[in-house]
Amino acid sequence: MNDRPKTPTLDRVNLPSDMKALTDRELRQLADELRAETISAVSVTGGHLGAGLGVVELTVALHAVFDTPRDKIIWDVGHQCYPHKILTGRRDRIRTLRMGGGLAGFTKRAESPYDPFGAGHSSTSISAGLGFAVARDLGGDPGDAIAVIGDGSMSAGMAYEALNNAGHLGKRLIVILNDNEMSIAPPVGAMSSYLTRLYTGGPFQELKATAKGAVDLLPEPFKEGARRAKEMLKGMAVGGTLFEELGFSYIGPVDGHDLDQLLPLLRTVKSRATGPVLIHAVTKKGKGYAPAENAADKGHATGKFDVITGQQAKAKSNAPSYTAVFAKALIDEAGRDHKIVGITAAMPDGTGLKQFAERFPRRSFDVGIAEQHAVTFSAGLAAGGMKPFCAIYSTFLQRGYDQIVHDVAVQGLPVRFAIDRAGLVGQDGPTHAGAYDTAFLANLPGMVVMAAADEAELMHMVATAAAYDDGPISFRFPRGEGTGVDLPERGQILPIGKGRIVSKGKGVAILSFGTRLSEIFKAAEVLAARGITPTIADARFAKPLDRDLILTLAASHDALITIEEGAIGGFGSHVAQLLGDEGVFDQGLKFRSMVLPDRFVDHDAPFAMYDSSALNAEHIETKVLEVMGVEKLADRRA
């Protein structure tokens, strides 16, 4: 049983303004209680634990020193915002985190004035912070802008675009680099190595903290000594920092868990800073909770767990996950073809490429949080004669769309896009929904777009992509476990642009694209009890469409319904375009397209999200009866 901790100091804090009356000693006690409360809450709800535990002291210090919400704290991504939510009037709802109707798992403007900028994707905080700073100076909302960004997020180009612009403009902007050497996966790349060198200078560390600091912020008697120390360091170390060259005053590294360092530093910066300042805080993800500190991912994302043991309560899986099936199929294909390589953008675990990397380390590449680079890097690999599988979540692939168009599609390069987390993903909500990839890929000339109806179909699509060299090809699959179908020894190569009839019926045909097929089967069972037997087909391809299949279904049925786990403008729209161009509607065909609603679907359990989107079996049954002009039994009784 997870008993709530005793939190006498935290009980006195309903809003950050209540912290102004606390002494520094009481703030240290507050941090300890805030950490305990965060652990207790996430043990009940599940969620992103390690990131929040790593910024407890920083969260306390920021709210104690600055005047939120007038001053705006912008949390990059938002994984680490749970302690912030507890301190900003949401403690009474913190155990509704990521539940339907409860608190969002990320910052959300509509949820609280203390969330000035919503997040979910990384590397946006400095750009947003600079926007707030410029707006302030142009007569907009007053107050400071403080961007808190992790070292993992600093691997993305957008962060440097913002740093470069901020240094040029010279506006008062505070950036806190939360350097925990641990994003979701271990950070990769030259920037990670650079940051490590900055704080591993042995006896120079304290000297660096002064010499690399913002000299102008120091009291007058110390300025000259700091300048001399800085000049001396230039002869002993690398000399200057990247951040200083970009126009920032650099302070650090400082211990991000030591309030005795953080509080006076932030107070000095608040009172004296005139231009852009970057504070380099070294923290530990999962700090203060041994099970998180000792976990491979530092407790990045957890289910519900026992506070004492850290043991997570996970339901037994009845079928392998789609991600695991993809990984196994890709490894199998790569064992036969030495040209197959895997690319991911900081998500080796989530995409299944961790297993691929263990088997083929020389052919596996994690490029960090850099989806644009991942896509163009894959294009270069393809142009160089390799067979790249670029494995990126649907929501993150959006960030590389320009590169998909110009670097892949225009050049007709055979990049294989493995799109995980397709459709609605549950508790992470709209920022992580895989709603748009079918629409934004299927409109590109020469792009092959597939969706797996089940895990066996996914294996076929991996094999198909491996064998396809005529241009770019993609296949999408959802989060979570499969349907439990029998898996083949090896995937079969599918004929491009050809779907399949799953079961024959009459009157109405249902054409599925993706994993709603299992919900169609459930609806068909209910319909069968009423003597209605729709034809069920699996399109497999949104591009190229199976013209023969679609036109045959249209000619032999009174009505045709398409179903997909994507936004309007995707598969159903392409089918409608084909039917319209062929004059089928002139012959009186009834056509309906079931898609995600034209709104952002709030976080909830996946079934509930699809329920609110009217895409579950009950809604499919209703749609069939509606198009056939038959009332539901419940409606008759009403």
pLDDT tens figures, 262-294: 999 999 999 999 999 999 898 988 888 888 887
Which band of pLDDT confidence, cut at 50, 70 and 90, is reported for residue 200?
very low
Is 167 found in the same domain as 40? yes
Per DSSP, the chain holds a count of helices (H) and strands (E) of: 26, 17
Is 326 found in the same domain as 202? no
Range from 54-58, 169-173, 241-245, 470-474 carrying the lowest mean pLDDT:
241-245
Cβ pair 593, 570 in contact under 8 A: no
Is 537 found in the same domain as 460? no
Residue 240: its pLDDT value, please? 38
Which band of pLDDT confidence, cut at 50, 70 and 90, is reported for residue 215?
low
Query: Measured between alpha carbons, how far is 529 from 537 in angstroms, rounded to an integer?
Result: 20
Is 190 found in the same domain as 81? yes
Residue 36: its pLDDT value, please? 95
Query: Measured between alpha carbons, how far is 213 from 353 in angstroms, rounded to an integer?
Result: 40
Give the domain extent around 68.
10-294
Give pLDDT tens digits for 403-454: 999 999 999 999 999 999 999 998 888 999 999 999 999 999 999 999 999 9
Mean pLDDT (whole number) for 161-173:
96
- The helix (H) or strand (E) run that includes residue 225 is helix 220-236
Is 290 found in the same domain as 326? no
- Asked if residue 418 is part of any domain, the answer here is yes
Contacts of 83 (CB under 8 A, 6+ apart): 34, 35, 38, 52, 55, 56, 59, 60
Residue 304: its pLDDT value, please? 79
- Any bridge partners for residue 75, and if so which? 148
Is 574 found in the same domain as 510? yes
Mind giving me the DSSP string for 300-324?
SSB-SB-TTT--B--PPPSS-BHHH
Give the CATH number for residue 468.
3.40.50.970
Query: Measured between alpha carbons, how far is 593 from 607 in angstroms, rounded to an integer?
Result: 20
Is 504 found in the same domain as 472? no
Which band of pLDDT confidence, cut at 50, 70 and 90, is reported for residue 229?
very low
Is 505 found in the same domain as 465? no
Is 508 found in the same domain as 462? no
Give pLDDT tens digits for 67-85: 999 999 999 998 899 999 9
Write down which residue in 294, 311, 339 finishes a domain.
294
Cβ pair 591, 585 in contact under 8 A: yes
Is 158 found in the same domain as 123? yes
Which band of pLDDT confidence, cut at 50, 70 and 90, is reported for residue 476?
very high
Amino acid code (one letter) for 396: F
Judge whether residue 514 has pLDDT over 90: yes
Give the CATH number for residue 534.
3.40.50.920
Residue 184: its pLDDT value, please? 44
Residue 354: its pLDDT value, please? 95
- Asked if residue 290 is part of any domain, the answer here is yes
Give pLDDT tens digits for 338-362: 999 999 998 999 999 999 999 999 9
- Residue percentage of the chain with pLDDT more than 90: 75
Judge whether residue 606 has pLDDT over 80: yes
Write down which residue in 476, 491, 520 finishes a domain.
476
Which band of pLDDT confidence, cut at 50, 70 and 90, is reported for residue 637?
very low
Residue 1: its pLDDT value, please? 46
Mean pLDDT (whole number) for 578-595:
97
Give pLDDT tens digits for 527-586: 999 999 999 999 999 999 999 999 999 999 999 999 999 999 999 999 999 999 999 999
Which band of pLDDT confidence, cut at 50, 70 and 90, is reported for residue 133?
very high
- Asked if residue 128 is part of any domain, the answer here is yes
Burial of 65 (0-12, 13-18, 19+ CB in 10 A): buried
Q: Left (φ > 0), alpha (ψ -120 to 50) or beta: where does 412 sit?
A: left
Is 385 found in the same domain as 257? no
- Asked if residue 606 is part of any domain, the answer here is yes
Cβ pair 472, 417 in contact under 8 A: yes
- Asked if residue 313 is part of any domain, the answer here is no
- Asked if residue 303 is part of any domain, the answer here is no
Query: Measured between alpha carbons, how far is 453 from 438 in angstroms, rounded to an integer?
Result: 14
Q: How many separate domains does the chain show?
A: 3
Give pLDDT tens digits for 494-504: 999 999 999 99
Q: pTM score, two decimals?
A: 0.86
Annotated binding site for Mg(2+): 151, 180
CA distances from 354 to 341, 363, 421, 608 (A): 13, 12, 16, 31
| Active-site residue set | 285, 371, 399
Range from 110-124, 156-170, 174-188, 579-593 carrying the lowest mean pLDDT:
174-188
Amino acid code (one letter) for 330: L
Is 122 found in the same domain as 85? yes
Cβ pair 508, 627 in contact under 8 A: yes
Annotated binding site for thiamine diphosphate: 79, 120-122, 152-153, 180, 289, 371
Residue 190: its pLDDT value, please? 59
- Asked if residue 304 is part of any domain, the answer here is no
Q: What does the angle CA 175 – CA 181 – CA 186 come to, to the nearest 5 degrees?
A: 125
- Asked if residue 312 is part of any domain, the answer here is no
